[in-house]
Amino acid sequence: MTSENGRRRVVVTGVGALTPLGNDAETFWKNLIAGESGAGPITSFDTTGYAVQFACELKNFEPTDWVDAKSVRRMDRFALLSIGAARMAEADCGLAIAPEAERIGASIATGIGGLKSFQDCHLALWEKGPDRCSPFSIPSILPNMGAGWVSMELGTRGPLSSQCEACAASNMAIGDALDQIRLNRADVMFAGGTECGIAPVGIAGFGAMRALSRRNEDPLRASRPFDAERDGFVMGEAAGVIVLEELEHARARNAKIYAELIGYGISSDAHHMTEPDPSGRSPARAITMAMQDAGVGPEDIDYVNAHATSTPIGDASETRVLKVAFGEERAYRIPISSTKGATGHCLGGSGAIEAIASIFACGRDIVPPTLNLENPDPECDLDYIPNVARQVEVNVALSNNFGFGGHNACLIFRKFRG
């Protein structure tokens, strides 16, 4: 079925998530709405001597639940998470993937790729010599292998892509998948992102940038988007995959429909390696582009899932961005929250789990809170839903992601009404 502008309509028919708040989408959502935090001391390696010793780790993940033990040894954790999330989304959507699934594709993002595998390869080279590097090192490191493994494991033979645009990567992957269906190159796309940056080099590197919070004594309250006392983000790890499907294809098999994806916008700052455009114009342009693509205006947006990561510069910048995009009068009336207060910043995986939060907000008319927002920053003066979830009628939800290097990507979901 086409929309009024003649394009194929695209709906969400499956979701899968592995997050610091739970290892399936429903548990993630329940804990998110309840105001739980995924933060705690790092357990995956010894943090003695590190300036930052906590993160939002994924807990109780067993790779062999999704992949055979032999294959596990050939993959980095980021790829394993992508398979787990994709398998859950596959089961949730109830789609049987035929052996020659040429109209089914995958678009899976990551911000970094196989960071731990890169570190392990370097240590083996440094400590034991070149002959001791694993032959699986390079395939484990490559950022595209999250998408590659999903395609191989599920058997999809349609469009296959992998985005690597830092923290905007998942939104770009989902937006690319939307375009593949609209352009009639596919009927179904598995889309999302994955990231596992909680490795010594990740914590040390981001710590050296002073990007991470150093509240080692109080991890649960460390990620505090829009709060005046925020001092950096908390590293998280996660994977999220949604199934996007052309509407008539979904109806033909009587699929359940969570929401409709109606808008996608992207722009670039051309400003700085890590700092956002101070004027807010470039990210606002991505929001405006998404609204134009969706055929909606500022008055139609009922909820914004903000990118806000709990950094001093970034959160104040996004406040300006929202005022530029919506106009100040409207910006003050829209409920907005950052779920990173609960999940930490999962880098290239963030947008995927935040898309799921936005989809659920549309379907369930409740919006998650901004955790640890106790002392609002005067520069962050919009309605940021502090600490407690709120019942709101959500017909249209916007999800923002902005990444290092000036990448901006925004998605708009709408409650599905047939």
d(CA 28, CA 34): 10
Annotated active-site residue in 93, 121, 196, 345? 345
Measured distance CA(14)–CA(168) in Å, rounded: 22
The token pair that represents 71 in the structure block: 């294959």
Per-residue CA distances from 48 to 27, 55, 217 (Å): 32, 14, 14
Strand order, beta sheet including 259-268: 160-161, 104-109, 188-196, 237-246, 10-18, 259-268, 407-414, 396-403, 303-305, 336-337
In the three-class reduction of DSSP (H, G, I as helix; E, B as strand; rest coil), residue 299 is classed as: helix
- Report how far residue 237's alpha carbon sits from residue 249's, in angstroms, rounded to the nearest whole number: 33
**H helix runs in 185-240, sequence order:** 200-208
CB 56 within 8 A of CB 38: yes
Residue 167 is a catalytic residue = yes
Among candidate residues 307, 362, 380, 407, the one labeled active-site is 307
Q: E strand or H helix at 403, and its extent?
A: strand 396-403
Instruction: Report how far residue 244's alpha carbon sits from residue 259's, in angstroms, rounded to the nearest whole number.
Output: 10
Closest CA to 151 of 88, 87, 91: 87
Check: CB of residue 110 under 8 Å from CB of residue 143: yes
Q: At what angle do helices 350-364 and 169-182 cross, to 10 degrees?
A: 60
Instruction: Please say if 307 is a catalytic residue.
Output: yes
Tokens of 268: 């670039």
Question: Which contiguous run of DSSP H or E holds residue 138?
Answer: helix 137-141
Catalytic, out of 56, 93, 164, 167 = 167
Q: Provide the annotated active-site residues.
A: 167, 307, 345
